[in-house]
Chain A
């Protein structure tokens, strides 16, 4: 049973190891006498899960693995629920339309009859699928399902029977990886991008080396100096402003303020929707005070890490056609300028504050991802984390500019 549980946890993506399982087992051995399921839940969680972000997933796995311990069998649960109660509940929660749908299966009597038949056929617990009783499926019987004719078994009934179980409450849901960021979280994620190096003039006393060389010098003091350590990572941050980005202002502000304190070499510029021949540093004077993109490419060495922040939602023409920009006439396509940037700074990622599920619906997003060679990540903790890892790895090959579009200059 524990082996099963262990592998289910690993399947759910919780990094448990054999050592941790063994320590849980030895804990069980020492004090098994006083055990009830609640205590076992707390103990196993404390021994196996080492990050509160995994609490929610742990609760889910625990719930599905040990449900049998709680409710001896589904039949027994069902046996304790009076039919009227189910019906009453359904009347309370179902709309007229839904009730009509129930009729489609032959009405309540029919539904309960089918349920009993299924129960007889089914001997084990079941999750998913569309026929058997269990959780998460589309069968009319089970919990967390989508069938409007559904009869909930498991979650609500067992709650009714005993006090709600801790792991079924799923109170740690919002500690999972996909939470929104705040400045502190972002800083922690960005900190991974640190790479310390000693550069510049030696102005700090190197204690260890001084002692070593003094000893070698027969006890006569021999001072050794080293330069101070600095974070050697350099970042070029390009941020989309205005238009559809207005919905994401807060999170971008937070990312920006975190990045600003975290890196000594941070350069930032703004763009609107997509990159063209100009970028700017001051949003209020964006039309008078611009820097040409070519200048930026020439000014910064190629070891700068280039991070785009934008939702990449616009008309596809804004990327692929000359003159596609909404603000001015651009002689060359946005894509061309974009390629020039990514070629000049091969370590690059795109962070998208828009939810990942929306990405495929937007053609402009797909084009951008192609141009980025798939290095687009959602602006969540997990996304930021993978983005940073990508930045530290060797860059993916870029697509040569000429292949993309005909350019005249």
Chain B
């Protein structure tokens, strides 16, 4: 067991609760399940934890067709068949046809690795159940070679989910869980400052104000998230806008400048236009 602790990095602001969850998972060597609104930095967390602990990161992105055993190993029967028909010598050793998966890779890493299982909810409902033993004992058995693969150093497994499917209880029981909440104004200010240290204070205040205003508009189909805010600010910066221009924009024109970065579908744009229009009329009267 190592005493390394995760404290956030120079470009990732981790809240107190998030640090606690990561450190608990690190210390007790349990998988950590992360949920939260899209764009709140779930996947980013694994990258940053790996960077801050200086550990190798192994990413396993899950698709709807991904099967659990693909993470362990695959037996390449087709090339063995071909080799056998060509009379290749390799054919006698079955281990030549065992292709290692991401979990095997993480188990055999020389240093403790960070294994990211991204968007586990995309896979079939049974997928998490098929990994129970592997995550719990950090070992699995290769039937073809009769070999037991055991983790040299138990990796820190970070699992992200977008809540598209419910995960089975037996799986949840083995994990630590953290829900990344949407950051508050203060945390958001920190996050933006970490990404754009040269940003002028007044522009930041103006932009954040507008951003939270957009987020609070009722009935938006897709609320803008942190990553969208960062994109938007990048756009504002590249246009070299000042806070005054942004403020002026928001009173003369109804939509905030470069709203395309924040609002991602046309119903939302219409809705926001309508709300802003009503708002303005109220102010003027």
Question: Footprint of B on A, CB under 8 Å?
Answer: 15, 17, 19-20, 23, 26-27, 30-31, 38-39, 42-43, 45-47, 49-52, 55, 171-172, 175, 184, 187-188, 191, 211, 214, 219, 221
Contact = CB atoms under 8 A, between A and B. Distances in A.
B165 interface: yes
Contacts of B84: 219
A51 B172 contact: yes
A214 B172 contact: no
A46 B164 contact: no
Contacts of B164: 184, 187-188
B20 interface: yes
B165 A31 contact: no
Contacts of A20: 173
Contact of B177 (A31, A38, A51): A51
B175 interface: yes
28 contacts: A15-B169, A17-B173, A19-B173, A20-B173, A23-B28, A23-B30, A26-B28, A27-B27, A31-B23, A39-B16, A39-B20, A42-B16, A43-B20, A46-B21, A46-B24, A46-B178, A47-B176, A50-B177, A52-B179, A55-B179, A171-B181, A172-B179, A175-B179, A187-B164, A188-B166, A191-B165, A211-B77, A219-B85
Contacts, number: 63
A49 B33 CA distance: 11
Interface in B181-208: 181
B163 interface: yes
B169 A42 contact: no
A20 B81 CA distance: 47
Contacts of A47: 24, 176
B223 to A, nearest CB: 11
B158 to A, nearest CB: 13
Interface residues of B, number: 29
Given A171-B181, A188-B165, A191-B165, A42 B21 contact: yes
A175 B177 CA distance: 15
Contacts of A219: 81, 84-85
A188 B164 CA distance: 6
Contacts of A39: 16, 20
Interface string B74-91: 000100010011000000
Nearest to B15: A42
Contacts of B172: 50-51
Contacts of A17: 173
Interface string B155-176: 0000000011110010011011
A309 B223 CA distance: 29
B24 A43 contact: yes
B42 interface: no
B202 to A, nearest CB: 28
Nearest to A24: B24
A297 B35 CA distance: 44
B54 interface: no
B244 interface: no
Nearest to B180: A52
**Closest CB pairs A-B (n = 5):** A50-B172, A52-B179, A42-B20, A46-B21, A42-B17
B28 A46 contact: no
A110 to B, nearest CB: 43
